[in-house]
Amino acid sequence: MARKALKTFEPVPLAQVDIKGGFWGERLEVNRKATLPIQYEQCKKTGRFDAWKLDWKPGQPKPHIFWDSDAGKWLEAVAYSLAKHPDKSLEKKADWLIDLIAKAQRKDGYLNIFFTAVEPENRWKNLRDMHELYCAGHLIEGAVAYYQATGKRKLLDVMMRYADYIGKVFGRGKGQKRGYPGHPELELALVKLYKVTGADKYLKLAKYFIDERGRKPFYFQIEAEKRGDKRKTNPQYHQAHEPVRKQKEALGHSVRAMYLYCGMADVAAETGDRELLAACKRLWRSVVDRRMYIIGSIGSTQRGEQFTFDYDLPNEEAYAETCAAIGLVFWSQRMMQIDRDGEYADVMELALYNGVLAGVSLDGRKFYYANRLAVHPKAPPFALNTFPATRQEWFGCACCPPNIARLLASLGEYVYSRSANEIRVHLFANSGADIDVGGQKVSIGQQTGYPWKDKVVLKVVPEKAAKFTVSVRIPAWCRSAQMKVNGKAVDLKKVVMRGYARIVREWRKGDRIELVLPMPAERVQANPSVRQDVGRVALMRGPLVYCVEEVDNGRDLNAIELSASPAIRVRQDAELGVPVITARGQRTTQARWEGRLYRMMAKEVRKAVTVKAVPYFVWANRKVGEMLVWIRQGR
Amino acid sequence: MARKALKTFEPVPLAQVDIKGGFWGERLEVNRKATLPIQYEQCKKTGRFDAWKLDWKPGQPKPHIFWDSDAGKWLEAVAYSLAKHPDKSLEKKADWLIDLIAKAQRKDGYLNIFFTAVEPENRWKNLRDMHELYCAGHLIEGAVAYYQATGKRKLLDVMMRYADYIGKVFGRGKGQKRGYPGHPELELALVKLYKVTGADKYLKLAKYFIDERGRKPFYFQIEAEKRGDKRKTNPQYHQAHEPVRKQKEALGHSVRAMYLYCGMADVAAETGDRELLAACKRLWRSVVDRRMYIIGSIGSTQRGEQFTFDYDLPNEEAYAETCAAIGLVFWSQRMMQIDRDGEYADVMELALYNGVLAGVSLDGRKFYYANRLAVHPKAPPFALNTFPATRQEWFGCACCPPNIARLLASLGEYVYSRSANEIRVHLFANSGADIDVGGQKVSIGQQTGYPWKDKVVLKVVPEKAAKFTVSVRIPAWCRSAQMKVNGKAVDLKKVVMRGYARIVREWRKGDRIELVLPMPAERVQANPSVRQDVGRVALMRGPLVYCVEEVDNGRDLNAIELSASPAIRVRQDAELGVPVITARGQRTTQARWEGRLYRMMAKEVRKAVTVKAVPYFVWANRKVGEMLVWIRQGR
């Protein structure tokens, strides 16, 4: 491309990072041993994989238009798992699926279950709704990951041929369609394909899709008219209401938005496009300052799974799709390589520990599509079988479970970044990594009980002594972080820049950074423009949001109010095996109500209670019942 | 019928009551001059009336399955209007429509637009969903009212023939279908037909429908299977989950529930069925003690326009359909004749002044289908075009506007009841009535500025002096009512029984009852199990619920909290021309927030504000903006 790439960090790749034990070690093992096999079983059982045989016959149930993406995401998750945990049987299953996929490819390179087996006459006729380019993106991500994990090129070659074909069909040349994905995803996938193959054409195609989006006349409207579809397109839903580099507000379908913003950040980084980066930064502010739940989730309404408007964060009616929080993790990770601010990793961590992890049960076997911040078990279910009080085994539209699986399986890639002379530590996780810094291998060993305990020990082991920078994130929630290097206190005021403590020195074998991140339980308020949360507080400890559940606190959680200045304690819970928060509060009772629904105002009869809160991601793993994140705060 | 009717009061009929001037006089004039003509225009414009010509052709838009009911309700409203305000031109329009309807009747008596003109092959095949019996009910109500107002029998005869035919088709005899209405309404209409014709068969048929409902095997399931419809019937939605006399909880579609309960009360009263009456009383408690909004509206969710569960009264997501509040008025009026407790009239009054009146704009030209108790104007619209912040001109499913029109046009019937030796005054409205008590005419003159002013003067003018009882409702909201008879104070403690002050004496021309109902503005609390309202209060004055609007109080209404013990004042508002409530409060400001969405808890910066509240029925008649009924209450 014409312009040079931006100078960015790059994630230390999965192959070079080992997460072992500790909080994430346990979660990753559950993911590998429970969630991944479930995903395979469900895809087999529901015909998602066998649909690649293209043997659908009229009268049979139709394969869904985005089953292809389930295969792509499963292969991607398998690849990450194989990279760390070789497993011949699993690899055999993946190879079987890849063979099916390869056979399904048309001569011209086209590859799609629905539009090959069911409606071949409708290929490329409805980019807006039919997910063809989205499916291509997920298959490319799977292909890249599988190649990187196993060295096997079969699916990669298939997907390169498909990408080449897509590059012929779409573009600004004569006879080409000026379309772009109705559901973004292909853009970021093409950048991955570019990076793994070095072929500039894939980056150019990604850039084309990014730049074409939102131009007038609207492609989606034109293709709709050609189909005789008279429904009006809502371009905002697809982030296609204006050219992306002009966009200022996070709008429309929240997962689409996240995947688009990832592609924008990728293209900006690789092409040195500062205007595009500026758009990403503006959109970041829109999301993080005005449209994000405290659990790091986004998308306030199930009607279209969309963003709504500034400060609109309903709790019981929250949509907060698991995939959208995962998308926010993806985007944060990209932004933190380019813009180098700790805020990106703070948000990434918030989403990971709360909005993402709550999407899967502790045993890895059940899933939330939508994540409420307040639940009454009798409340009627929303769309998509998302019953509020219990996770489900699977979904007809099963985007979330495999998305969780692939993210957790690749979590190693989110812990460290590197540049020619710097290592960055973003996440605190028991782990080791071999990192290339200025041509030599530096081993990092991280020991921590985070997020339950406040201490992090980092051992820095260069092959030979060398001067470089080790930057360690100091989370914004921590008011009194302390650091020692080789036992000597570091004045963090002097070394913290944009959220990272930057230690520049000649590092030698045996060097040791000790970080303490004191994490008292805190009450957090929402901006008074968030009408749903005024007069309430959320309890947090470190990166974890807590919530109250009926099983611990009885029914009618809203009848409880925290005391004005409650003693807040943290204690290990024997049943749950995690620290819980307790605080003094009062509960308004039914005394003197005599069964009435309304009465003239009278003094409430209240009784003292001890409020018990558990980490949000732990909720709904015991008895079905009410749940509440934002608790009423007394004065 | 075998059993004797219960001894009940009966409403003093419309023809004998004149509402003139005052609060209701004004509303009724708007109804007659604006709402009724709009209803005619809309029905003409949308083809609802001309569809009776049965000239629908394939390819044209289909007449809706309940257009018949719009005609029925319009005729009913016209009849009530003609009863009080003769209008040759209006009567001519009604006669034209009645001629069309009469011509549309089939030889066998059947009468329905859709199943005559569009799908004659599907007659009676889907009672559950297709509203055939519902439409019949509304046409009967229209026919009865038109006959009573004009003496013209044409439509009444048509509907008797139709009812006779329905009585042949449905029942427990050989060859009869054991069905019942999917949407109740016919039951109460048949009792009206029985009363006006004296023909016992109509009461029997109503009783059959009431008793058959909910029996196993479920008729709706049987007919669905016959149609090859595999969707599972939800009998609860139709109040058909168990025999009605066993039902304990108000469940399912709220309008269906109200119309059914009206029919149950009617049949109970006319047949002396105390078991059925007991079911009504149980269901009443379910509604009024646990499932009714403070505005007298019911049906908490738009998903199926249904009741949900005890104490579930969401404000922003309230459905609270205007028709359901109207249905509650109908049911209250029936219950207060039979069970003689002031609570029925209290609830009727609450629904009338709040949930019903808010359904129409002050100018009578725009309507709410759903009635929220909290609104943000940017919140996404729900189903049925019910944008939360503005009333609509009409609806595709236009049940509410004509329902408002017919209720207001007949409001005279809700003011007084009579028995052989008693007159009951339920509503306070400037009015006069001629009432038959023990064979002689007693004239009642009522003068009042209610609900704005607290004084009511009743003049009792018997033809000649006679001993009988005049009972005047003492609303439960009033803590310090005072009454004088001919200037002499009455000790209300001694004479109030079940909500009515019962004055038994020999009444003479010139006798005068003076009632004072002091109505300070009050703060009202909801039961602490109503999770949406804990820590909040609603402002009321007399029967009127008040609310705060953005136009008076600025944005972010939830950032406002009433002071712990606010001085609450009532003053006449020059712009609105009604009394408004003002109270001291504090508003949490954006000071020290610096644009953040979340922060560690810190002292809020608040400023003193004067909260201004307007009657709920007045809201959304000025600028579009936020609205809130339940205001945060400081301590």
What band does B381 get if pLDDT is binned at 50, 70 and 90? Answer: low
Instruction: Identify all chain A residues contacting B289, using CB atoms and an 8 Å cutoff.
Output: 595-597
* Count of Cβ atoms closer than 10 Å to residue A84 Cβ: 18
Percent of chain B with pLDDT over 90: 93
Query: Residue B516 belongs to what H/E stretch?
Result: strand B511-516
Fill in the amino acid letter for B315.
N
Among candidates B469, B379, B450, B634, which has minimal Cα distance to A534? B634
Inter-chain touch A632–B303, beta carbons under 8 Å: no
Residue B476 has pLDDT above 90, yes or no: yes
Fill in the amino acid letter for B444.
I
Which pLDDT score is estimated for B380?
72
Give how far Cα B137 sits from Cα of A583, B124, B180, Å: 59, 15, 12
Sign of CA dihedral B315, B316, B318, B321: positive
Inter-chain touch A597–B534, beta carbons under 8 Å: no
Structure tokens at B26: 């004004």
Q: Are strands B606-615 and B579-588 parallel, antiparallel or unpaired?
A: antiparallel
**Residues A69, A142: Cα–Cα separation, whole Å:** 9
B61-70 in b/e burial notation, b at 16+ Cβ within 10 A?
A: eebbbbbbbb
Residue A382 has pLDDT above 60, yes or no: no
Structure tokens at A189: 């996938």
Residue of B nearest to A305 (CA): B380
Rounded to a whole number, what is the largest CA-CA distance in chain A? 79
Domain with CATH 2.60.40.1180 in chain A: 416-516
Q: Are strands A422-425 and A466-473 parallel, antiparallel or unpaired?
A: parallel
**CA-only gyration radius of chain A, Å:** 25
CATH annotation of B416-516: 2.60.40.1180
* Phi then psi dihedrals of residue B584, to 5 deg: -75, 140
Q: By 3-state DSSP, what share of chain B in percent is helix, strand and coil, each rounded to 5? A: 40, 20, 40
> Using CB atoms within 10 A of its CB, is residue B492 exposed (0-12), middle (13-18) or buried (19+)?
middle
* Whole-number average pLDDT of chain A: 96
* Phi then psi dihedrals of residue A384, to 5 deg: 55, 30
- Do B105 and B158 meet the contact criterion of CB atoms below 8 Å apart? yes
For A279-323, write each residue's pLDDT tens digit: 999 999 999 999 999 999 999 988 889 999 999 999 999 999 999
Which pLDDT score is estimated for A566?
86
**Residues A69, A141: Cα–Cα separation, whole Å:** 10
Q: Which residue would you say has higher pLDDT here, A99 or B565? A: A99
Residue B2 has pLDDT above 70, yes or no: no
Residue of A nearest to B605 (CA): A528
Residue A197 has pLDDT above 80, yes or no: yes
Fill in the amino acid letter for A515.
L
**Residues A127, B616: Cα–Cα separation, whole Å:** 47
For A529-576, write each residue's pLDDT tens digit: 999 999 999 999 999 999 999 999 999 999 999 999 988 999 999 999
Q: Which residue would you say has higher pLDDT here, B385 or A401? A: A401
Alpha carbon B485 to its chain centroid, in Å, reads 33
- Please give the span between the terminal C-alpha atoms of chain A, in angstroms, as a whole number: 60
Beta bridge mates, B51: none
- Residue B269, sorted as left (phi over 0), alpha (psi -120 to 50) or beta, turns out to be alpha
Instruction: Identify all chain A residues contacting B530, using CB atoms and an 8 Å cutoff.
Output: 597
- Do A588 and A605 meet the contact criterion of CB atoms below 8 Å apart? yes
Average pLDDT value for residue range A92-118: 98
Percent of chain A with pLDDT over 70: 99
**Residues B195, B175: Cα–Cα separation, whole Å:** 28
Inter-chain touch A527–B597, beta carbons under 8 Å: yes
Q: Active-site residue numbers of A?
A: 305, 399
Sign of CA dihedral A336, A339, A341, A346: negative
Q: Which long-range contacts (CB under 8 A, 24 or more apart) does A171-174 make?
A: A171/A205, A171/A208, A172/A208, A172/A212
Tell me the count of A-B CB pairs closer than 8 A.
Answer: 142
Inter-chain touch A378–B309, beta carbons under 8 Å: yes
> Using CB atoms within 10 A of its CB, is residue A487 exposed (0-12), middle (13-18) or buried (19+)?
exposed
Instruction: Identify all chain B residues contacting A523, using CB atoms and an 8 Å cutoff.
Output: 600-601
Q: Are strands B560-562 and B422-425 parallel, antiparallel or unpaired?
A: unpaired
The shortest CB-CB distance from B601 to any of A292, A312, A524 is to A524
The shortest CB-CB distance from B635 to any of A308, A380, A635 is to A635
Inter-chain touch B600–A378, beta carbons under 8 Å: no
For B166-217, write each residue's pLDDT tens digit: 999 999 999 999 999 999 999 999 999 999 999 999 999 999 999 999 999 9
CA of A434 to nearest chain B CA: how many angstroms apart?
A: 37
Of A391-400, A516-525, B616-625, the range with the lowest mean pLDDT is A391-400
- Do A534 and A548 meet the contact criterion of CB atoms below 8 Å apart? no
What band does B304 get if pLDDT is binned at 50, 70 and 90? Answer: confident
Instruction: Identify all chain B residues contacting A528, using CB atoms and an 8 Å cutoff.
Output: 556, 558-559, 588-590, 593, 604
For B65-82, write each residue's pLDDT tens digit: 999 999 999 999 999 999
What band does B302 get if pLDDT is binned at 50, 70 and 90? Answer: confident
Inter-chain touch B527–A601, beta carbons under 8 Å: no
Inter-chain touch B601–A635, beta carbons under 8 Å: no
Fill in the amino acid letter for B81.
S
The shortest CB-CB distance from B527 to any of A303, A557, A596 is to A596
- Do A470 and A461 meet the contact criterion of CB atoms below 8 Å apart? no
* Whole-number average pLDDT of chain B: 96
For B106-122, write each residue's pLDDT tens digit: 999 999 999 999 999 99
For A415-457, write each residue's pLDDT tens digit: 999 999 999 999 999 999 999 999 999 999 999 999 999 999 9
Alpha carbon B580 to its chain centroid, in Å, reads 25
* Highest mean pLDDT: which range of A183-197, B220-234, B296-310: A183-197
* Count of Cβ atoms closer than 10 Å to residue A546 Cβ: 27
Which pLDDT score is estimated for B443?
98
CA of A561 to nearest chain B CA: how many angstroms apart?
A: 9
Which pLDDT score is estimated for B382?
57
**Residues B584, B610: Cα–Cα separation, whole Å:** 5
Give how far Cα A550 sits from Cα of A557, A624, A628, Å: 7, 8, 9
Instruction: Identify all chain B residues contacting A524, using CB atoms and an 8 Å cutoff.
Output: 598-601
Interface with chain B: mutation pick from A597, A633, A635, highest number of B CBs within 10 Å: A597
Which pLDDT score is estimated for A388?
84
For A128-169, write each residue's pLDDT tens digit: 999 999 999 999 999 999 999 999 999 999 999 999 999 999
- Do B83 and B15 meet the contact criterion of CB atoms below 8 Å apart? yes
Instruction: Identify all chain A residues contacting B311, using CB atoms and an 8 Å cutoff.
Output: 597
What band does A1 get if pLDDT is binned at 50, 70 and 90? Answer: low
Inter-chain touch B589–A634, beta carbons under 8 Å: no
Rounded to a whole number, what is the largest CA-CA distance in chain B? 79
Question: Going by C-beta distance under 8 Å and a sequence separation of 6 or more, which residues neighbour residue A30?
Answer: A362, A363, A364
- Please give the span between the terminal C-alpha atoms of chain B, in angstroms, as a whole number: 60
Average pLDDT value for residue range B235-254: 96
**Residues A83, A413: Cα–Cα separation, whole Å:** 12
Average pLDDT value for residue range A52-58: 96
What band does A396 get if pLDDT is binned at 50, 70 and 90? Answer: confident
Structure tokens at A582: 């307790």
CA of B260 to nearest chain A CA: how many angstroms apart?
A: 24
Inter-chain touch A596–B289, beta carbons under 8 Å: yes
Residue B1 has pLDDT above 60, yes or no: no
Instruction: Identify all chain A residues contacting B290, using CB atoms and an 8 Å cutoff.
Output: 597
Fill in the amino acid letter for B243.
P
**Residues B139, B54: Cα–Cα separation, whole Å:** 17
CA of A187 to nearest chain B CA: how many angstroms apart?
A: 30
**Residues A580, B352: Cα–Cα separation, whole Å:** 50
* Phi then psi dihedrals of residue A37, to 5 deg: -60, -40
Catalytic residue among B76, B91, B141, B305: B305
Which pLDDT score is estimated for B3?
62
Which pLDDT score is estimated for B523?
98
For B123-162, write each residue's pLDDT tens digit: 999 999 999 999 999 999 999 999 999 999 999 999 999 9
Residue A383 has pLDDT above 60, yes or no: no
How does DSSP classify residue A301? B
**Residues A589, A594: Cα–Cα separation, whole Å:** 11
Instruction: Identify all chain B residues contacting A287, using CB atoms and an 8 Å cutoff.
Output: none
Residue B349 has pLDDT above 70, yes or no: yes
- Do A187 and A266 meet the contact criterion of CB atoms below 8 Å apart? yes
Inter-chain touch A294–B531, beta carbons under 8 Å: no
Give how far Cα A361 sits from Cα of A30, A393, A407, A627, Å: 10, 10, 15, 15
Inter-chain touch B378–A308, beta carbons under 8 Å: yes
Structure tokens at A89: 């049987």
Sign of CA dihedral B260, B471, B457, B83: positive
The shortest CB-CB distance from B632 to any of A289, A314, A534 is to A534
- Do B533 and B314 meet the contact criterion of CB atoms below 8 Å apart? no
Structure tokens at B471: 């009972």
Give how far Cα A254 sits from Cα of A301, A319, A320, A326, Å: 10, 10, 9, 11
Please work out, in degrees rounded to the nearest 5, the angle formed at the alpha carbon of residue A527 by the alpha carbons of A525 and A529. 140
